[in-house]
A = this chain, B = another copy of it.
Amino acid sequence: MSDGGLPAPEQRGDQRVAPALVRYELLHVDASTGARRGRLHTPHGTIETPVFMPVGTLGSVKGVAPDDLGTLGAGIILGNTYHLMLRPGEALIGALGGLHRFISWDGALLTDSGGFQVYSLAEMRKITEEGATFQSHVDGSKHALTPERSVEIQEVLGADVIMAFDECPPALSERPYMEASMARTTRWLHRCVKAWHRQRSSLFGIVQGGLYEDLRKRHAEEVCAVDLPGYALGGFAVGEEPAQMHAGVAHSAALLPKDKPRYLMGVGMPLDLVTCVGAGIDLFDCVLPTRNARNGLLFTSEGRLILKNARYTRDERPLDPACACYTCRTFSRAYLRHLFNAQEVVVNRLTTIHNLYFFLALMAEARKAIEGDRYAGFVKDFLARPQTPP
């Protein structure tokens, strides 16, 4: 490192010593639901589960810096392989010491494989047995992602948890397409495992199969036959109704090994989280709290609050009277609405702090309820909450 540079990681308190691979510790299962209270031990700290992981697409959880994430108590965040390989490129991040160091985050990090974004964002994509070729949605440049390349990029980024490169078909896909896609995802998983170095990054496998219960069962058996530090459910919240998703997750989660962490990818709404914790899910991620915050949609204990609504023009109350976040301790709805309507840049940080606090606090409450064997009551109370603030 050149003179005058930032302190090296070991001088910045980034000196935690832990086993290279993550390890799940099951502490307790709720007496009347499948909800699990556990811990994910990572090289960058121990995460109390179930947990919500804020999404840091381009190396930044949009709207908030690491100091805010620390205050919020976020222990693990996501990075996005597709976005980071395009901007600024994994080579640059690798040369500067990896993603943790690049973004100055000393908590745990998980990167996805890039597969989902290739399907949802990239242009001119072509999927073959080898992998995917596509054009960047940013500048049209051509790129390829294969199982090997995805693992290589993720190992260069150096996240604590990396994800297998999979194909992610819509949940409502026709059965023959789903079966063929699933089989390919299994073949790709074996290629990922072969490419994986089992060093600082722990590879999680992904179970697909849409809403076909027998396919989910078959794919879970194929994927879990590979001994991995963790397993994920993919292909939920991609077009199906919430009730279908909840039933599918309940069925699928029970197919996963009890001694490994279970990650439900890209889900979701607070109701989804509360429901799927009850099905035995440990890890969640979703852009909803951060994206909705920037669009002025706030999650509160009284339901969803639309900030631009004229009824809040003179409202001196905080966004959520039951919330203890910086935003709610400090600002009125009237002021935040003014900032939002005037497009003042600071409002993004303030609303994001609130929404992330809401999601993280909801999971903390869930953990307590599991510890007390009262998770069913917690779900019932949650369902009785109002839909919109009074």
| Residue ranges of A at the interface with B (Cβ–Cβ < 8 Å) | 1-2, 4-6, 58-67, 87-88, 92, 95-96, 102-104, 294, 313-314, 316-318, 321, 326, 330-332, 334-335, 338-339, 341-342, 344-350
On chain B, the residues within 8 Å of A314 by CB distance are 92, 95-96
**In chain B, what residue has the closest Cβ to A321?**
B4
Q: How far is the CA of A62 from the CA of B92 in the complex (A)?
A: 31
Q: Nearest Cβ in chain B — how far from A305, in angstroms?
A: 13
Beyond A96-B334, A104-B335, list 12 extra A-B contacts (CB 8 Å).
Answer: A6-B330, A58-B344, A60-B339, A62-B344, A62-B345, A64-B346, A65-B326, A65-B346, A65-B349, A87-B338, A102-B338, A104-B331
Contact check, A342 vs B5: say whether CB atoms are below 8 A apart.
Answer: no
**In chain B, what residue has the closest Cβ to A331?**
B104
On chain B, the residues within 8 Å of A67 by CB distance are 326, 330
Q: Nearest Cβ in chain B — how far from A48, in angstroms?
A: 25
On chain B, the residues within 8 Å of A95 by CB distance are 314
On chain B, the residues within 8 Å of A348 by CB distance are 345
Q: How far is the CA of A317 from the CA of B96 in the complex (A)?
A: 11
On chain B, the residues within 8 Å of A339 by CB distance are 58-60
On chain B, the residues within 8 Å of A338 by CB distance are 58-59, 87-88, 92, 102
- Given A316-B5, A335-B104, check contact A342 B58 (CB 8 Å): yes
Q: How far is the CA of A350 from the CA of B317 in the complex (A)?
A: 29
- Given A59-B338, A104-B335, A335-B59, check contact A317 B6 (CB 8 Å): yes
Q: Nearest Cβ in chain B — how far from A54, in angstroms?
A: 12
